Structure 1
């Protein structure tokens, strides 16, 4: 196509179309990037991208000499709910828990769906004392839901682990998660005894 035979108006029209198409592609790429990082059901970070964010925050904590807290969460009784009320109800429960976690945390924190009925909350550059305030909000949100719901009570088991660089120089992110997971299982065992 020779531009000598194209009028200025047509050339402007072609350039505008090209810009519109590029903007559309940019928005599609942004949408695809978002979808690649998010768990489709719950709307929180998926495991792969979430662990990448955790690794980055962990390195920042190490270099800035700041604490980092993780909370490992397990939704209690999901199998029973799936068996008694169907998988759709179980999915609603997971979505509800994810929403509560997202609403309860601060802007700097993030939630990861680790898989199945397990979640991880990362509290960057903070201490357990500060996290306790955030956690109180989350527990109040759970209580509020339970007060308005009749089929069953939402119940979660959770365990925290606070990384303190001065005390644990050589710890890895997988060890931090494992330590929080161990604390969560202690709570689960205590619930079974009651």
Structure 2
């Protein structure tokens, strides 16, 4: 083997190692981006990255004159579950809730964990009527979940707000209105008890 062949083989080896290293770095970057934007417990978007995506989707809907719906969701009586069965069971309730929501939405929709026991579901290019159909799927999954639950029934309060073509709404006002409607739903449930 002469000197030039050795250099070529060494160069090829170095380039292969560099390629492997770059692939690992890219995979690590993707993993870090995922964890930076995801709520670790529930696997849905965290508040920061979720609100960024919500703003982008809202602007796309606004420019395209398309309807847009958000749904504020709150887990009912989570504090009672935590107090009675422990925080580990409370965490399980949040994970189960996120799974029920994720299984019920469409590929174009997304979920944000706003904090504690609150989630925000986002339905781009959707009317309120279509959003209620999605909620009906969630409701069916909740009933199925509760049939198999021995200790308590999982209950969610929710509130929708729809951006319609030509409305002068902001993302903040959409969220605030959906949150208000969710609290109305929660109060209505308490009055029935």
For 1:6 and 1:136, locate their aligned partners in 2 and report how far apart those are by CA, in whole Å: 69
Which aligned pairs between 1:25-44 and structure 2 lie closer than 5 A? 25-44=25-44
The answer to whether structure 1 residue 19 and structure 2 residue 6 are counterparts is no
Partner of residue 62, structure 1: 62
Structure 1 distance, partners of 2:135, 2:185, is 15
Residue in 1 that maps onto 2:51 = 51
Aligned-pair distance for 1:47? Answer: 0.3
Distance across 2 between alignment mates of 1:147 and 1:104:
18
Tell me, which stretches of 5 or more residues in structure 1 are unaligned?
A: none
Q: Deviations over 1:62-116 (max 9, x none)?
A: 1000010000000001101111111000000000000000000000000000000
Structure 2 match to 1:175: 173
Alpha-carbon distance in structure 2 between the residues aligned to 1:13 and 1:120: 50
Number of corresponding residues = 190
Q: Aligned Cα RMSD in Å?
A: 1.3
CA deviation profile, 1:24-60 (whole Å, cap 9, x unmatched): 0011001111111100000000000000111011101
Q: Distance in 2 between matches of 1:136 and 1:179?
A: 21
In structure 2, the residue matched to 1:86 is: 86
Question: Structure 2 matches for 1:112-123, cutoff 5 A?
Answer: 112-123=112-123
* 1:7, distance to aligned residue in structure 2 (A): 2.8
Q: How does 1:139-158 map to 2 (within 5 A)?
A: 139-158=139-158
Are 2:97 and 1:130 aligned?
no
4+ aligned runs moved over 2 Å, structure 1: 3-7
Cα separation, 1, equivalents of 2:80 and 2:142: 19
State the TM-score, normalizing by the size of structure 2.
0.95
Query: How far did 1:134 drift?
Result: 1.1
Unaligned runs of 5+ in 2: none
**Residue aligned with 2:43, SS:** coil
Q: Name the TM-score, length of structure 1 as normaliser.
A: 0.95
1:118-176 Cα deviation digits (max 9, x unpaired): 0000000110111121111111001000001111000010000011132x22x110110
